[in-house]
Structure 1
Amino acid sequence: MKNTNNKIFNAMYFKGFLLIAILALASCNTKEKTEAANTAETETTEDTDIITITENQFSAGNMEVGKMTTQPFNTIVKASGMFAVPPENQADVSAYFAGYVKNISLLPGDAVKKGQTLFTIENPEYVQAQQDFLEAKGRLNYLKSDYERQKELIADNVTSKKNFLKAESEYTVTLAQYQSLKKKLSLMNINANTLTGENIRSVISVPSPLTGYATTINATKGVYLNPSDVAITVTNTDDLHIELKIFEKDLPMVKMGQPINVRLQNDMNKVYQGKVHLVNKAINTQDRTVDIHGDLVNEAEAKLFAPGMYIEGEILTTTSEHLALPVEAVANIDNDYFALVKENGTTFKRVLVKVGATNNGFIQILNSDDFKPETEFLTKGAFNLITE
């Protein structure tokens, strides 16, 4: 009986020991797996900024490696404005005399030449002006002859002074009427030298005062125009220039001859070159701005634009030199900027850089002191690798 109990005790002791061993082994395995996982996680975290590129990838992507270089950067004064023309290149055309529009065939954008008829107007009163001129012209010939005869007679004491003064007065008054009516006919675009009783007309033409384009048309056939009504606006775009507004605080930095980068509001990627031509000496007291006038460097580009087009301008004032990288070597990720530094071979490390101004395809690196002068960066093809 005692032997039986010993056997049972030994069996139970062995099973307990085996269970403890199994639990201990499982615990060790779990600890090893946990440590291994933690180690793997640490290694993964450490390797996230390391990028390895094969030689085939480097060659196929046309990638390039280079160092930071010293580049010129400008202090920029931002401005907004529009394209415009000088005052003498734009004319609001109206008739000097009231009348009904007889004929008009222009459309906005039509090219016109100086002296070309823009429209015609009609009014019976025009007939009266021509009649008065012809009558004054007819009287003038007689009165001039009578005046000259009376002048000779008064010199010989043959006629009275009263007759001479009467002839002189009538001639002088009629001459003034003649000259006044002749000027009036000139404003009507009627040639007084060729006017006769047979070619009196009630319709006059209104010519263009300059060569350009009909940019605004307010008149239509049959409408009644007063002398103050603007019928057509003609604009000559040959001298198209830049008109910008800057804030008064920026005025001391802007000088004549400084370069201007011009961009259209609907195409900010395309840059047109200009230069400051004139700086206004007066400040607009309402919005505290100053007018800046500029010219396009390439005069042929003026044909691409029209007066009134809104533009954004950058006036390049002072210039200084800073270490920089090509713009495509830097990538923006959540408002942080990164570049790839060459470690060895084709292995690169992603590093944080602080950036400043951009100019001519380069971006200023503000923390350039954090890198050694011999540090090489992936200067071409880096953007896609950084943002992946």
Structure 2
Amino acid sequence: MKRLLLLAFVAFACNRTAQVPSTGTPSDSMQTLVALTAEQQRTSGITLDSLRQGSLERTIELRGSIELPPQNLISISFPLQARVRSISGLVGRAVRRGDALVTLESMPLVELQERYLSTRAQLEQAQREYERQLKLSPSAATTERALLEARTQLRERKIALAALAERLRLAGIEPTRLADTAISRTVVLTAPRNGYIAAINVVVGQTVEPNTRIIELVDVSDVHLVLRAYERDAPLIQPGQRLVAWAAADSSQQFPAEVVAVSRTLDSTRTIELHCHFVRYDHARLRPGMFMRARLSVASERGYLVPQSAVVAWENKHGVFIPDSKGYRLVEVRVIASDGHRAIIAFDGGRPPSVIVTQGAYWLLMKLKNTDQQEEV
């Protein structure tokens, strides 16, 4: 008796489990026809349009920033210890090659000029002594050793003078213009090329150590738009392709650019680096360091061009609704390309329809899923 009761309970539980309604997720057995009443048709907002052939560019969304190549970043320093006497200009001011930037006073510079002039005088004396020994040599009035010593001293003085001359040139002093009574304690640092003052790292009266960054300039004549692309898009990007870019903080203004170089290696984030040149750089709107976004067109796809609102998705599938004598029928399609507003679709089986639903497709899909649920219950 107990065994019969247990079997009856199991059978009752199985029947209850079979009657649980489905979750409503469309499946392969889902109906494809939606029938509407006249009132539903009037209030649904469904719009129909003809199916047309068209093309759609495939685009890649990119992010990056405006950067300057290393050769356009200029750091101005002084090789000797010095004191800042005056500063000309402000950060952001445009400068031209040769414009005065900073005036320095340097005691080591005075000592360097003194050593140069002293060595030059010693060289003149060594030259005369060598010539004298050379004249005495044929008459045996001097020894060969004395002649060699005079020649060696002459060479040493020439080497020392040449080294001091280069040190003076590094300090901004032309040694050929030095005179015994024209030693200067000041030197003016000038702009080596056209650009803008990016930073002033000293103040008047400050003592700066050798090779301290005193002023930094930027040359914006060669500005790069540096973007990053994901690994999957790397094979599609080549130098010479055109793109449009805009500031991340303001998308109202777009700037055309061209890809000039593409890195051949991936970094730790699995992305590649693109270097681009602006077709026309807008100095008023763009600045080095600004975050940018860009859109690059890499290919053009042809097929049936429809609004994105016409395509519905379910269970990793896509479809469109077409009018039927009994309502609207869901037809599966393959999405070839999409830009978020339009899509290129293909019908893999059967003859393509002439008219599709362009507005209200998702409303029909929900209606279809609800109908399918009610029938399962």
Q: Establish whether TM, by shorter chain, passes 0.5.
A: yes
Report the Cα distance in structure 2 between the residues aligned to 1:317 and 1:245, rounded to whole angstroms: 15
Alignment-mate amino acid for residue 43 of structure 2: T
- 1:174 alignment partner, SS class: helix
Report the Cα distance in structure 2 between the residues aligned to 1:265 and 1:83, rounded to whole angstroms: 11
Match of 1:290 in 2: 272
- CA deviations 1:163-213 (Å, max 9, x no partner) are 112211221121122111211111221222222233212221222222111
Q: Where does 1:64-75 land on structure 2 (aligned, <5 Å)?
A: 68-74=52-58
- 1:189 alignment partner, SS class: coil
Contact 1:73-1:322 at 8 Å conserved across structures: no
Alignment-mate amino acid for residue 217 of structure 1: I
Report the Cα distance in structure 2 between the residues aligned to 1:49 and 1:173, rounded to whole angstroms: 101
Alignment-mate amino acid for residue 79 of structure 1: L
Report the Cα distance in structure 1 between the residues aligned to 2:46 and 2:293, rounded to whole angstroms: 40
1:363 to 339, 342, 345: 342
Shift of 1:270: 3.0
Report the Cα distance in structure 1 between the residues aligned to 2:140 and 2:306, rounded to whole angstroms: 104
Shift of 1:317: 2.2
Q: Where does 1:311-326 land on structure 2 (aligned, <5 Å)?
A: 311-324=292-305
Report the Cα distance in structure 2 between the residues aligned to 1:268 and 1:182, rounded to whole angstroms: 56
Q: Which runs of 5+ in 2 are unaligned?
A: 1-36, 312-321, 323-329, 360-377
Alignment-mate amino acid for residue 363 of structure 1: R
Match of 1:246 in 2: 229
Contact 2:55-2:344 at 8 Å conserved across structures: no
Q: Where does 1:1-388 land on structure 2 (aligned, <5 Å)?
A: 43-49=38-44, 68-74=52-58, 76-155=59-138, 157-284=140-267, 286-296=268-278, 298-301=279-282, 304-324=285-305, 357-358=338-339, 363-364=342-343, 366=345, 372-373=353-354
- CA deviations 1:46-84 (Å, max 9, x no partner) are 3113599xxxxxxxxxxxx9874512312x333221112
Shift of 1:214: 0.7
- 1:319 alignment partner, SS class: strand
Q: 1:357 to 1:263 in 2, by over 3 A?
A: farther
- CA deviations 1:127-153 (Å, max 9, x no partner) are 111111111122222211221332343
- 1:299 alignment partner, SS class: coil
Report the Cα distance in structure 2 between the residues aligned to 1:224 and 1:282, rounded to whole angstroms: 45
Contact 1:103-1:121 at 8 Å conserved across structures: yes
Q: 1:199 to 1:48 in 2, by over 3 A?
A: same
Q: 1:212 to 1:164 in 2, by over 3 A?
A: same
Contact 1:188-1:205 at 8 Å conserved across structures: no
Q: 1:377 to 1:81 in 2, by over 3 A?
A: closer
Contact 1:322-1:364 at 8 Å conserved across structures: no
Q: 1:178 to 1:73 in 2, by over 3 A?
A: same
Shift of 1:367: 7.7
Q: TM-score, normalised by structure 2?
A: 0.69
- 1:227 alignment partner, SS class: coil
Shift of 1:248: 3.0
Larger Rg: 1
Contact 2:306-2:345 at 8 Å conserved across structures: no
Report the Cα distance in structure 2 between the residues aligned to 1:138 and 1:185, rounded to whole angstroms: 17
Bigger RCO (CA 8 Å, 6+ sep): 2
Report the Cα distance in structure 2 between the residues aligned to 1:72 and 1:151, rounded to whole angstroms: 90
Report the Cα distance in structure 2 between the residues aligned to 1:114 and 1:244, rounded to whole angstroms: 31
Report the Cα distance in structure 2 between the residues aligned to 1:99 and 1:217, rounded to whole angstroms: 16
Q: TM-score, normalised by structure 1?
A: 0.68
- CA deviations 1:241-290 (Å, max 9, x no partner) are 21112233332222222222212101224332222211112332x33322
Q: Which runs of 5+ in 1 are unaligned?
A: 1-41, 53-64, 333-340, 342-350, 379-388
Contact 2:80-2:108 at 8 Å conserved across structures: no
